[in-house]
Structure 1
């Protein structure tokens, strides 16, 4: 009887060890949509409150790029808040990622307003703005849709826009997108994988 119990115990122990080893060899779970192969993206230059900023300035970092506008009532603040929470979970590793908010509302959003808006969510977020021509070129290159709606009787208007977040690797290639509504824990998990934990 003791021999059967020992055999059973060893069998269960080996099974548990095998499952644990198998789990360790699995690739990490990714929550975003992977772009495979990675897509090289062209550089662009837009205006920050401090002057021109080129996307190439961030080579060597993970770049998290989000297109929106300052008067957005829901999607933009929700997304930027999720990015803030995710970055806060990274600790010191957050310095290896750069969140860039690009305004598509060239009529109202100045570089100074974009900076103030972005840094309201996180002091390291970068807010950029540009002319219609600059915004059109960048959104075309990144496959971002936007449409400025006609103003109401008070002159207020909304902007329809793509709500996905774009993620570039340190070489400047598009490697992942996150859909609207992705949770901060999922973003942080993906960033940890991309940053090598």
Structure 2
């Protein structure tokens, strides 16, 4: 057996580092639907629940869970926000680097003050976002989501039918994962933890 030589050792170390660098976060054992490269980066100009104008750049460095809904939603929205709160709780301290962005599909009723009270009732890491109808519609279409206002009821109230997927973005705003209502809480915890641990996509 030939003795190890410093030059050979250096080459082996360099090869190992190269292999490590080539390992993509896409190769991780995701349980949710991997949409890397199939959806656009996070981009918007809206108003947060404190009345401040914000863009996607304000959330760079955080893992974002994007969801479209509205505060008068009778069932799926409160259930989804409660579920996401439970997921963040299970992830633990790392979840402080995550943000739930709850985008209203009912901007006529969802003022920043209304959104603030609503999202804070579920989780301190949740942010309510609202804005002009055109901006909301454009953002929804950007991620192939959809919503429709239903006819008014006798009392003048109405409901909004909307998609219920959760979109996960990495710290650089790249779309990474899609969670459907069928995804289990365990799958969300697993993939969110991995996304927070792996950081940015190479």
Interval containing the TM-score (normalised by the shorter chain): 0.7 to 0.9
Distance 2:152 2:172 in 1: 40
TM-score, length basis structure 1: 0.81
| Contact preservation (8 Å) 1:116, 1:127 | no
Number of residue-to-residue matches in the alignment: 171
Runs ≥4 in structure 1, deviation > 3 angstroms? none
Computed over aligned residues only, the root mean square deviation of the Cα atoms, in angstroms, reads 1.6
User: Which stretch of the first structure deviates more once superposed, 83-92 or 42-51?
Assistant: 42-51
2:16 aligned partner: none
| Structure 2 counterpart SS, 1:196 | helix
Query: Alpha carbons of 1:40 and 1:90: their partners in 2 closer, same or farther (altered >3 Å)?
Result: same
Change (3 A) 1:178 1:137: same
- 1:21-40 correspondence runs (5 A): 29-37=29-37, 39-40=39-40
* CA-to-aligned-CA distance 1:52-79 (integer Å, 9 cap, x gap): 1211111122110000011111111111
Structure 1: segments with no counterpart, 5+ residues: 1-26
1:42 Cα deviation from its structure 2 partner: 5.0
1:157: how far off?
0.7
Structure 1 match to 2:23: none
Q: 5 Å matches for 1:113-152? A: 113-152=114-153
Report Cα offsets for 1:89-142 as digits up to 9, x if no partner. Answer: 121101111111011001211111112111110112111111211211211212
Structure 2 CA distance for aligned equivalents of residues 101 and 141 of structure 1: 16
Aligned partners of 1:44 and 1:144: how far apart in 2?
15
* Correspondence list, 1:11-160, <5 A: 29-37=29-37, 39-50=39-50, 51-160=52-161
**Partners in 2 of 1:181 and 1:78 — Cα distance?**
13
Question: How far 1:188 moved relative to its partner?
Answer: 1.0
Larger radius of gyration: 1
Task: Please state whether the residue corresponding to 1:39 is helix, strand or coil.
Answer: coil
5 Å-filtered alignment, 1:170-181, equals 170-181=171-182
Check whether the contact 2:148–2:161 (CA below 8 A) recurs between aligned residues. Answer: yes
Structure 2 residue matching 1:46: 3-state secondary structure: strand
Please give the secondary structure, in 2, of the residue aligned with 1:127.
strand
Q: TM-score, normalised by structure 2?
A: 0.79
1:31 alignment partner, SS class: coil
